[in-house]
Amino acid sequence: MSVALLWRGCVASAVVWLLRFLLPCCCRAVVVCCGMEEPCTPVRAAPLAGSPASGVKRRRLRGKGPPPSWSRGGSPDDAVAAGGPPENAEEELVPAGPPPTADERKVLLNKYSHWWRSKTSFGEKTLRERAGLSAMYNLRRLSPAWRARRLVDFARAFPAQKAEIAALGTVFLHKPAVTHLHFGESFMCTWAGDWGVVPLEALPEEKVASAVALLQPVGPPPAGPLEPSASGPAASGAGHAVVCWERAGPEAAQRSVALIAGACRAVPLAAELAEAARKCVVHLREQHPVVMDAWAVEVCSRSWERERVVRLHVHLCVTFRGRQRIQPHATLRLFDTEPWTTPHWGLAAGTRRRSGEAGIYYCLAPKCSGVCREGSHELFTDVMVHPGWVFSLAQSGKLEFECARAQLARLPASIAKNLENLEKWQRERRQAAVADFLAKRNAVLAQAARPFKRFALVDLFLGQFQEARDRYRFLVLDGKSRLGKTQFARSLAGADKTLELNCAGSAQPDLRPYDPLQHNTLLWDEAAPSLVLQHKKLFQATTALVQVQTSNTNCHAFSICVAGKMFVVSANDWCEKLARLPFADHEWLTSNSFCLRVAEPMWLPAPPEDLPCSS
């Protein structure tokens, strides 16, 4: 019984579907056959002026005309070459006929879109570049003056349709341009201008002096030439600005801006800007359904660091309940300045809601440049903070390290990982600052360094590397301090290709920084003969891999390649310690090394005209 019912249901469904699709077709055929209606034949649109009547057949949507000629292989440049631009560059379009109909206007606008997209290679641009090109060529977003310019350029590209384009201008040029400031669920804007400059005389003198001192090197420049160093006469006062340490390291600029921002809190201009920001918030709340709002008055850190100019600006962020269109208003103009707006903030984490919350955090974050700030909601309780926002502000120099650490400590998710990443970044940043300081200092010293003398024993040491050998002898520079032994050893292969190892009081120097593809010289500073005896195979620069950092368990041992590398030992008492060694050790060190006794400075003396005059 159930099978029969199922079969009847299937048959009934099939009959219903056949009647649904076949019955309208049959009725339509009967009507046409009886002569009651002609078969519907699509009407081919008339070809555009200046375009061929025949071309490649393409299926188009109903109501659209054929594509322009240059979209089937040509370009606007071909049209320009055919007719050429008019002589008068500032010509105006004069209509010579009635305004175009809706269909004609649609065809012309489609052709205009094809023209400027092909002209600017629109398809090859990024999304940001496409948005900028749309703002430059979209007629609905341009002012009347710019619309006229674009239509004149369009008419130059297609002179055969100049009259039609002029007629289009009579209809289109009088349409008002889009005047809204912003459209979206969040509104972030900034006011900045010369009206925000605060004269230094209006700030406390002691705070300005302290802020300027943080950006200056320590100590006054020397009055005369410095004492000669191991590399020759040192730099004079000209290079003092780059060899001195800053007072606070990489955080000096942040602390300097923080002092200026604290001094600006008592300036009347800051209170005036704060009151204007409050009025903007009140206006937006009256016109739109505002959910959250925040504003901040800040000091432009870049102007202070580069130009020593104190310039205030205002940030405002508002989130709405749904998308809103912000219209221009006198309240939104500070000192006759339009706000600079952005649809989303760079700290956003994906969604529109989080984009607005990122703007709220940007205004309410305790940045070093902040003068005053205010918001309708509190951070970490009403506004959920994303750790990426904190890292972004710290990376841009707007949050000091301690402040950023305090912000991340309030985020329970991945707190250990976030704090570890921040502290690692701080260590690397300080190491980079030290490396930059050393590079500048070495560059100044290299400019003032004297050339070194030439020694026959050193030439003999260097000559053995002209041919491939299984083993090489190392060089020992033995002499008193401040004679230039270390700098001389660095000059053999260059400072960048020399690895300097401090062996004072160490039986196992750290060889982990050694890179066989970079270092050609290994300088063992203050090394004793006993240290060399513990690494005989290493100091012979053999072709085999050498295992170092060995112990009873070899848990920290690793192998390095030192084939053909120059080993140089710089010491003050090498010969005295060598004399106290057993005969076998003394004989091995003597036969595997070149020992140069240094009794005078190793650099050439300065010419008489370069010596300072004695008074």
pLDDT at residue number 516: 92
Give the HSE-up count for residue 255: Cα atoms under 13 Å, Cβ half-sphere: 16
Q: What angle do CA 18, 19, 24 make, to 5 degrees?
A: 115
Structural domain for 162, as ranges: 69-172
More confident: 114 or 64 = 114
487 within some domain: yes
The answer for residues whose C-beta is within 8 angstroms of residue 75's C-beta and 6 or more apart is 118
41 within some domain: no
193 within some domain: no
How sure is the predictor about 82, in pLDDT bands with cuts at 50, 70 and 90?
Answer: very low
Same domain, 230 and 319: yes
From 425, 445, 473, give the residue that closes a domain: 425
Calculate the average pLDDT of the chain: 79
In tens, the pLDDT along 326-380 reads 887 788 888 888 888 865 554 544 555 667 889 999 999 999 999 999 999 999 9
Same domain, 272 and 225: yes
pLDDT at residue number 198: 94
Give the HSE-up count for residue 327: Cα atoms under 13 Å, Cβ half-sphere: 6
Lowest mean pLDDT among 178-192, 218-232, 396-410, 458-472: 218-232
pLDDT at residue number 22: 64
pLDDT at residue number 353: 60
Same domain, 81 and 203: no
pLDDT at residue number 333: 85
What gap in Å lies between CA 422 and CA 424, rounded to an integer? 5
Same domain, 240 and 98: no
| CATH at 484 | 3.40.50.300
413 within some domain: yes
Same domain, 284 and 348: yes
Element at 387 (helix H, strand E): helix 387-395
Largest CA distance in the chain: 130
pLDDT at residue number 608: 67
How sure is the predictor about 20, in pLDDT bands with cuts at 50, 70 and 90?
Answer: low
What gap in Å lies between CA 249 and CA 256, rounded to an integer? 12
486 within some domain: yes
Lowest mean pLDDT among 36-45, 473-482, 553-562: 36-45
Percentage above 70 pLDDT, the chain: 75
The answer for residues whose C-beta is within 8 angstroms of residue 170's C-beta and 6 or more apart is 95, 99
Phi–psi pair at 479, nearest 5 degrees: 175, 180
Same domain, 364 and 218: yes
Whether the per-residue pLDDT at 456 is higher than 50: the answer is yes
Same domain, 223 and 327: yes
Same domain, 93 and 157: yes
Phi–psi pair at 505, nearest 5 degrees: 75, 15
How sure is the predictor about 184, in pLDDT bands with cuts at 50, 70 and 90?
Answer: confident
pLDDT at residue number 75: 40
Same domain, 389 and 533: no
609 within some domain: no
What gap in Å lies between CA 556 and CA 209, rounded to an integer? 52
119 within some domain: yes
User: Which is nearest to 304 in space by CA: 442, 427, 448, 196?
Assistant: 196
For the chain, what is the domain count?
A: 3
From 384, 408, 425, give the residue that closes a domain: 425
Whether the per-residue pLDDT at 218 is higher than 90: the answer is no
**Section 58-68 average pLDDT:** 47
Q: Which long-range contacts (CB under 8 A, 24 or more apart) does 383-388 make?
A: 383/292, 383/357, 384/357, 385/361, 385/410, 385/411, 386/347, 386/349, 386/354, 386/358, 386/361, 387/411, 387/413, 387/414, 387/418, 388/347, 388/349
pLDDT at residue number 51: 44
Highest mean pLDDT among 12-21, 57-66, 341-350: 12-21
How sure is the predictor about 223, in pLDDT bands with cuts at 50, 70 and 90?
Answer: very low
Amino acid in the structure at residue 97: G
Same domain, 163 and 227: no
Whether the per-residue pLDDT at 314 is higher than 90: the answer is yes
Same domain, 468 and 388: no
How sure is the predictor about 71, in pLDDT bands with cuts at 50, 70 and 90?
Answer: very low
CB-based contact 540:475 (threshold 8 Å): no
Same domain, 410 and 507: no
Highest mean pLDDT among 206-220, 242-256, 337-351, 472-486: 472-486
Highest mean pLDDT among 160-174, 224-238, 476-490: 476-490
**Section 277-291 average pLDDT:** 92
**Section 67-92 average pLDDT:** 41
6 within some domain: no
From 386, 402, 425, give the residue that closes a domain: 425
